[in-house]
Structure 1
Amino acid sequence: MARVRANPQFCSSKNEWKMKNNNERTAAVLGLGMMGATLAKLLLAAGYEVTVWNRNKDKSALLAEAGATVADSPGAAVNAGQVIVMCVHDYAAATSILSQTEQSGWKGKVLVQLTSGSPAEAEQQEQWAEALGARYLDGAIQAAPQQMGREDTPLFLSGKNAAWDQALPVLKVFAGSPEWLGIPAGLASSVDLATLSGIYGTMMGFFHGARIMEHAGFPVDKYAALLSGILGTFGEFIQLEGQLVHQNRFEKSESPMSISVDATARILRQAQESGIHDKFPRYVAGAFREAADKGLANEELAAMIKVLRG
């Protein structure tokens, strides 16, 4: 590994941490995209001995200047840290990188995988890590790089309790209150996919609304401001409907299905009459029409889950 000399005062501080804590405050970061580089910077600022590795070494330069050690290989990075943090493009890239490490270098360490993937991929990687004597946590970051390190940064982890305990000090550097979901390891990925589903559904609705506003000659930025003002109340409604789904209670309470059947039909009709793109409202109106056809019109909106359950 190549050590780049940094500010002497910073190095002195780092050496004090190392002497007092042995290897307890050592971490490695594999992958230095925007998020990975941010995680490494946060660890350096928190006083950790940080070793970094990236395919493109040019991305390591600024971190080296800040006091990080730049590893020549993924294996050298793993050998240098007790908590190994990984954040790369996908699990195919992660698997390729991890295959370049020495099996003996993993014993007693914990791999915190913050690469986005599927629940099955997370559970397969847990098996790989445990076979080498390491612990494994899978994580979902639901924030932009500039939002990391805050008390309200959303960071969800899943895996065994021992892995959570070992990695927690590092995780608290990334988010003030990281949340452990428990086992299996794929739970964090499931939460990531579920929340993204809600976000993308909302964004597609927003963009279709923008087309309605453009057709009506209303400024889209003002429409966005109006919608954002509604979303707080809408969040409370989502929580209520979620509770009803969890309890399997579908009797009418807040919002009968019939209201949404009619409303989504109107949205579709407006799109067709005005000639704007109608794929999104056609899907949504079709789903609510299916619910009505199944006899759910006089039940609570939460009964839509029955249609999706098949």
Structure 2
Amino acid sequence: MSEVSVIGLGPMGIALAGALLRSGARVTVWNRTSAKAEPLVAEGAALASSVAAAVQASSVVVVCIADYQATYRLLEATEVASALAGKVLVQLSTGTPQDARHGEAWAKERGVDYLDGAILAVPSQMGKSESSIIVSGSEAAFQKSKTLLERMAGTVSYLGEQVGSASALDLAFISFVFAGLLGFYHGARICEAEGLRVGDFGSMLADIAPAIGAMIKQDGDAIQAGAFAGAESSVEMCSRGAEIVLRQAREARIDAVIPAFASGLFRKGVLAGYGAESPGALIKVLRKGM
């Protein structure tokens, strides 16, 4: 018997299985294209001949594939579902909180202990201190898989039995990262327009990352408490700043879609009467919908 079976050997699945192997775990792997498993087999993994064989090999089964529907297509076969009964299924594919709830219901119908998770890292970070996995769902499933999860990531956080929590935080994180990347790419175009090195801009952001994190934490606390008065900055100040970025984009003939969106959103906050409040007050605009 292996300690864990990993189903799905895309870049992240390979990274997860590799981290487990390097930690000394006994690992069985399966992938539709078996050639992807060859480097892992060379490291000591066992290659299962089928999904059913992979499930039968271990008491904990980790799935990391394209999406939840692809998971069902693999696991719904009678011989696979029956082999899963009584085991722990850790779903690490990306999905929505509703996907997680459907996954939990699917697992319960088949007598499977279910844990839904998300990986807040890129494949090259797995097994290192900077990687993080968040999970939610069955506490019993978490206790049974905790040691294995900790071998895959530097930090593992259990968010409780509300199964959609991990995917919700994952999507919130992705939202932050994508918005930040878009802002960075627009900033890179500003640098290019003025003949500045984009690499230096990236280094500057890396250096001030702790300060940015502190500002975000402050905003999070303000939103949680509903306390937006007496801030060092305001929605009005942000609106004026966004307008300047928009004006510069037009002057430099840079695509203005990103600053135009930001400017429009902050302007909505001002028009709604939140101009004197802290930037986190923009959440009240977002709560009303667009």
TM-score between the two structures when normalised by the length of structure 2: 0.95
Deviation for aligned residue 1:66: 2.2
| Amino acid in structure 1 at the alignment position of 2:27 | V
After TM superposition, give the deviation of residue 182 of structure 1 in Å: 1.0
Q: Secondary structure at the match of 1:137?
A: strand
Q: Does structure 1 residue 244 correspond to structure 2 residue 256?
A: no
Q: Summarize deviations over 1:44-95 as a string: whole Å, max 9, x none.
A: 2333332111000111222222222211111111011100011111222212
Residue type at the aligned position of 1:167 = S
1:223 paired with 2:205, answer no
Q: State the 1:115 CA deviation.
A: 0.6
1:148, CA displacement in angstroms?
Answer: 1.0
**Displaced runs of 4+ in structure 1, greater than 4 A?**
none
**Rounded Cα–Cα distance in structure 2 between residues aligned with 1:235 and 1:42:** 29
Question: Residues 94 and 251 from structure 1, CA distance in 2 versus in 1: closer, same or farther, beyond 3 angstroms?
Answer: same
2:11 is matched by which residue type in structure 1? M
- After superposition, the Cα gap between the structure-2 partners of 1:228 and 1:38, relative to the gap in structure 1 and judged at 3 Å, is closer
Of structures 1 and 2, the larger Rg is shown by 1
How many pairs are equivalent? 287
> Over aligned residue pairs, what C-alpha RMSD do you find?
1.4
Q: Any stretches of 5+ residues in structure 1 without a counterpart?
A: 1-22
Question: 2:130, 2:200 → 1: CA distance?
Answer: 28
The CA distance in 2 between the partners of 1:72 and 1:150, in whole Å, is 30
Instruction: Give the equivalent residue in structure 2 for 1:9.
Output: none
Secondary structure of 1:155's match? strand
1:36 maps to 13
Which whole-Å CA distance do the structure 1 matches of 2:146 and 2:166 have between them?
15
2-structure distance, mates of 1:294, 1:218? 38
- How far does the alpha carbon of each residue in 1:226-276 deviate from its partner, in whole angstroms, 9 at most, with x for none? 232222211101101110000000112221221101100111111122211
TM-score by length of 1: 0.89
What is the Cα deviation at residue 165 of structure 1?
Answer: 0.8
Structure 1 residue 121, shift from structure 2 partner? 1.0
1:261 and 2:229 matched: no
Structure 2: where are the runs of 5+ without partners? none
Alignment of 1:159 onto 2:137: yes
SS at match of 1:277: coil
1:12-91 map, 5 Å:
26-91=3-68
1:146 matches 2:124:
yes
Rounded to whole Å, the distance in 1 between the matches of 2:50 and 2:256 is 51
Q: Which residue of 1 aligns with 2:82?
A: 104
- CA distance, structure 2, for counterparts of residue 292 and residue 102 of structure 1: 56
Give the superposition deviation at 1:102.
2.7
Candidates 105, 108, 111, aligned match of 1:133: 111
